[in-house]
Amino acid sequence: MPQHFLHLADVPEGTLYQLLDMAQRLKRNRKREQVAEGKSIGLLFFNASLRTRTSMDIAAYELGAHALTLDVGKGVWPLEWQDSVIMDGIAAEHIRDAIPVLSRYFHALGVRVFPRFKNYEEDSTDWAIHRIAELSSIPVINLESAFDHPCQALGDLMTIREHVVIPRKKKFVLTWAYHPRALPMSVPNAALIAAARSGMDVVVARPEGFELDERVMEQARSFCERLGSRLEETSNRTEAFEGAHVIYAKSWASRLIYESVDEEARLREMYRDWIVTMDLMKLTDKAIFMHCLPIRRGVVVEEAVLESPFARHIEQAENRLHVQKALLRWIWGDR
Ligand code: CP
């Protein structure tokens, strides 16, 4: 079985800290090495990206490897997912053929595949990324799936470790924010697991109707319990922000979207005031402000917050490069 990297929750404690320590060393001494000379990685994108595609490409380059980005449907054939189907539609190739072929070319495959928002069971079990992993004979790296974004989580954990002195029992707040579009639950799920694994007390602040999946909450709760910290949920932002050490903002769709796209949009519109403001940040204990990016200024967060000393979103994005370099080295056996 190839060594896939699909979920941060599945990474053993020892490996996790080995990866973070290696990323920190690589950040301190950034240079081009030849440790992965002759290796190549395919980056299969079903959806758009700025940071992930760039940082993975540069990560491979700085290790002496080669990365090739493949945009499905744009230069790469549209792909069919459904088994035993008559392929007389748009899709020219089946993933059952495409993934084994790519497995013959590359030494690892990064995949970004967002939710379809049609079937909650499929999305919440991350069916698509798992299907690709099953079909692949090389390691698959999850570059954001329907329900997880483990590379983001790894970078987030690195950022927390850099800025929060002794994270254990410090207060991490994951706050829902308004967004004009219904967004996946992948990043909030991943941030929740990263925070829980950091040993911080975690608060999820969200309006009614925007609860995260109970299975992900339970996973986070069990990491918190193991580390002696707590996980709470609230719809009171003032209480949530008070005394916080990390504010992590993110929008995500209500689960209502699986029943009615219009109803979900109407519910989301009711919470346009869920924007991270300077006034809210002033309630914190000099918290750092985190966001995975891209971020809509004046919608998710006041511009002043992003231009203030609270903001760490640019370093957070930079850390994606360092953790992914560490991850590629680990996947390719340089441990
Ligand atoms: N945070 C993140 O994954 O950014 P991109 O969507 O631009 O890759």
Whether 191 and 153 have beta carbons less than 8 Å apart is answered as yes
CA distance 55 to 135: 25
CA 27 to chain centre: 20
Is-cis flag, bond preceding 184, omega within 30?
Answer: no
182-196 residue pLDDT tens: 999 999 999 999 999
Q: Report if pTM > 0.95.
A: yes
Whether 138 and 103 have beta carbons less than 8 Å apart is answered as yes
Q: What are 76's strand-pairing partners? A: 72
CA distance 269 to 261: 12
Amino acid residing at 275: I
Residues of the chain whose pLDDT is less than 50? none
Q: How far is the CA of 161 from the centre of ligand 1 (A)?
A: 21
Q: Specify the ligand 1 atom closest to the Cα of 293.
A: 1
Residues 283, 236, 187, 198: is their CA dihedral positive or negative? positive
Whether 252 and 188 have beta carbons less than 8 Å apart is answered as yes
For 79, list phi and psi in degrees, rounded to 5: -110, 145
> 214-249 burial, b if ≥16 CB within 10 A, otherwise e?
eebbebbbebbeebebebeeebebeebbeebbbbbb
Q: How far is the CA of 79 from the centre of ligand 1 (A)?
A: 22
pLDDT at position 2 is 86
pLDDT at position 95 is 98
Q: For a substitution probing ligand 1, which of 43, 45, 46, 50 has the most ligand atoms within 8 Å of its CB?
A: 50
Q: Specify the ligand 1 atom closest to the Cα of 47.
A: 6
CA distance 147 to 253: 12
Q: How far is the CA of 252 from the centre of ligand 1 (A)?
A: 15
pLDDT at position 74 is 96
CA distance 326 to 321: 9
pLDDT at position 331 is 96
Q: Please report the DSSP string for 145-158 in residue order.
A: -SS--HHHHHHHHH
Q: Specify the ligand 1 atom closest to the Cα of 48.
A: 6
Please provide the average confidence, as pLDDT, over all residues in the chain: 97
pLDDT at position 25 is 98
Q: How far is the CA of 180 from the centre of ligand 1 (A)?
A: 18
CA distance 116 to 302: 30
Q: Specify the ligand 1 atom closest to the Cα of 143.
A: 3
255-289 residue pLDDT tens: 999 999 999 999 999 999 999 999 999 999 999 99
pLDDT at position 320 is 98
- CA-nearest residue, atom 3 of ligand 1: 52
Q: Specify the ligand 1 atom closest to the Cα of 54.
A: 8
pLDDT at position 335 is 64
Give CB contacts under 8 A, 24+ apart, made by 164-169.
164/198, 164/200, 164/245, 164/246, 164/288, 167/198, 167/199, 167/200, 167/245, 168/198, 168/199, 168/200, 168/227, 168/228, 168/229, 169/199, 169/200, 169/201, 169/228, 169/229
Q: How far is the CA of 294 from the centre of ligand 1 (A)?
A: 7
Say which DSSP state 287 is in. P
pLDDT at position 276 is 98
CA distance 32 to 63: 6
Q: How far is the CA of 52 from the centre of ligand 1 (A)?
A: 5
Q: How far is the CA of 179 from the centre of ligand 1 (A)?
A: 16
Who lines ligand 1 at CB under 6 A?
Answer: 49-52, 144, 152, 292-294
Q: How far is the CA of 228 from the centre of ligand 1 (A)?
A: 32
- CA-nearest residue, atom 6 of ligand 1: 49
